[in-house]
Amino acid sequence: MNKSIKSIAVASIVGVVLGATLLPTKVLAWHPVGKITKYVANETTGSPSVDANTAAAAVSAKPGDILRYTITVRNDGKPADKDYNDLAFVVINDTLPGGVELVGNTGQRVIKENIPGTLKPGKSFTKEYKVKVTSVKDGETIKNTACFTGDSTVKDNKQQGCDDAYTKIKIEKKPEPTKPEQPKPPVVTRITEQPKQTPKETKAPEIPATLPETGPGAIIGSLVGMSAVGYAALNYRRSQKALTNILNK
């Protein structure tokens, strides 16, 4: 047998051996299917835990609110014998974004969890933690992303994935204080004083110096009046004389 025939024979034998060796590995390749979901709830307002994957589905919060994050990693692989589809070596990583801080340890910014053992098909692992909202920017959207890595038990099928949870800051604007209404100035009605009118003096009717002659009756009346005046004057003189005589005694 020449050298070329020998080389072909050896290569054939090696190929058969290698094929037989690799065949079980390909046939028995393990297939876990890892999935991660992150939920968020506002404990301060009592909102439900939701899978807020987009900004439109974000949970509303205000400064000082307490948020609860829930991370779930599950194995959606098909059931298999001999742990072929088990999910192993699972590690959760979550780096906190700005705008929140970990309750109980404000300086810690990375949440890391090594899941012990394996996750069989249909099984899951859940991690919870709480943060306090520190953002004071109205309308700011906080995106918090959690990721995982894993593999099959024989490390022939690496698994990884991430999921987001959104929170939107909403600050209620305080109404501006109402300014007290300024009192309106009183309406002053000016009354123009009317000039005082001096009452006109009523003149006594003038008595004529001489009585008009009106006939015999008037003449007789005049004579009577003059006689009375003369009689009064005479009596006055007599009383004065008598008073003088008395004083001289």
Give Cα 244 to chain centroid, integer Å.
118
What integer best gives the mean pLDDT of the chain?
81
CATH of the domain at 71: 2.60.40.740
- 143 within 8 A of 100, measured Cβ to Cβ: no
- DSSP letter, residue 209: S
Calpha distance 50→187 (Å, rounded): 65
Q: So what's the pLDDT on residue 134?
A: 97
Residue 237 lies inside a defined structural domain of this protein: no
Domain that holds residue 82: 29-169
How does residue 216 score in pLDDT terms, banded at 50, 70 and 90? low
Q: Who contacts 142 (Cβ-Cβ below 8 Å, separation ≥6)?
A: 97, 98, 99, 100, 133, 135, 166, 167, 168, 169
- Indicate the number of domains in the chain: 1
Residue 7 lies inside a defined structural domain of this protein: no
Residue 239 lies inside a defined structural domain of this protein: no
Give Cα 205 to chain centroid, integer Å.
94
- 155 within 8 A of 130, measured Cβ to Cβ: no
pLDDT tens string 64-116: 999 999 999 999 999 998 899 999 999 999 999 999 999 999 999 999 999 99
How does residue 17 score in pLDDT terms, banded at 50, 70 and 90? very low
Q: Which of 38, 34, 172, 161 is nearest to 96 (CA)?
A: 38
- 150 within 8 A of 177, measured Cβ to Cβ: no
Q: Who contacts 89 (Cβ-Cβ below 8 Å, separation ≥6)?
A: 149, 150, 151, 155
Q: Which of 90, 54, 50 is nearest to 73 (CA)?
A: 90
Residue 188 lies inside a defined structural domain of this protein: no
Q: So what's the pLDDT on residue 9?
A: 47
Calpha distance 145→110 (Å, rounded): 11
Residue 21 lies inside a defined structural domain of this protein: no
Residue 210 lies inside a defined structural domain of this protein: no
Residue 223 lies inside a defined structural domain of this protein: no
pLDDT tens string 108-143: 999 999 999 999 999 999 999 999 999 999 999 999
Residue 81 lies inside a defined structural domain of this protein: yes
